[in-house]
Chains A and B, each alone.
Chain A
């Protein structure tokens, strides 16, 4: 792994990649959506603009979206690594990336309303650490925009109005309602990260972690795999479309994870990720060698 103080530049590059280069799986899903929409309709125009924007951002290495979001980061590390040092390095990288315009100064003092000006603040970036047996450090990050974050929501089941009980059919009903409530406001077509179970702390984190999964992967739990496919299909049938203009492309993916719960609680937690589904990863081995992850 890189010695303390040597990872900052790698983290800046990680942020640059996330902010300016949309992952291939997301770009492909947008292309597929484009093919399904009528030429000249608002949905088609919106997707054309999005695809043009994705290319332009990559070509000139500038942010895909001006809301460069909250960096939400998961770091796996070997025994004996200082997580405090890694966190400091990541915060330094956020400030540097903000200076280089890969990030917008995006941290606002909630009490005074003033912007910290350098991209970092209390709780921003949000970094999770987990120790593992491997000798390398693996960093995975999403940039989570604010507009779509406002669309995220949490249901507690049972929900009488939705006819949603404490089972996967109840989960289905809650998630479909979340897609309807969100309309185009989270910059559709979006990706849903869903957590079933957990509590009000763990569930939102776990729902965001689902966004690291490739869009085309298959959930190892068969009934969840089936539910993911069904929700993707039914979510698109709602006809909300890109930007909420109406159309066939409302969702690009649905990813569901599960946590255990207390007997009294059954939460369905939905994180809405905009079409600018920015994620990036890097592995740093014990010699400091850097490998970029797709």
Chain B
């Protein structure tokens, strides 16, 4: 691979700085627009004005706004995201505690969506405009059109309430200790520790929320694969391969599909970003202790540092992720790789 990827990375890193500044500024402005006084919320209704004022100055909320912002940015440069008004713990610590849960959920949902979405897209493209295609497309579109929170509730009622097959919430069985935290992703940590009962429990708890979240992206993946496949199937090399007598499925799977998947890689990057914050509503329904629930609570409690911290961390992750996906795309696509 030629070294032409350095300027790409360089440019992205610069834009990363822009993004972090922009994101923090936007969330700062918005969160201070929201009417409400977090000091009052912490103090409770019955606190006297003196107590509220005391809390407000403790939290640094009585300083002029620009000063508060500059102070925040200064801390940010040291990697300090401030202290949550609600929990009195460093925001970074809170996010680190909740992030792995959301990441694990998003990854499993993405895997499910991909594993099911790719075959669906392929079938749709190959049997274009026939019954299979129509059914597959309807399924895909249904996925995109379903409100995740509604689906989640329904799944809990059916699979936990009525059938009792799967647990109704949480990450592992109550009473079980979570595996020693290496990555924070229970499935990986439990496998590393060889703790199979915990692994099984984590998997059981993971299924329903991942299916809920994944069902939506099933549609996105299937659509993308279908459209890329259609493009590929129209290409000359496909006709040539068939003319040589290669069986249709070999052509589809061994030749067209890998080429079709390359543009789909970029969609995966976007999907992961979507999933990360799409988890917000799904997590509340399943009691999944992730960032989604955290950020909703923080917005309601006017916990500015927490909301800003969340926005900065997720945007950061999003840009880095897209960078990695772009690099991967360049690696995979021989046209770009070769030319440089």
A and B co-occur in one complex: no
| Chain B positions near chain A (C-beta within 8 angstroms) | none
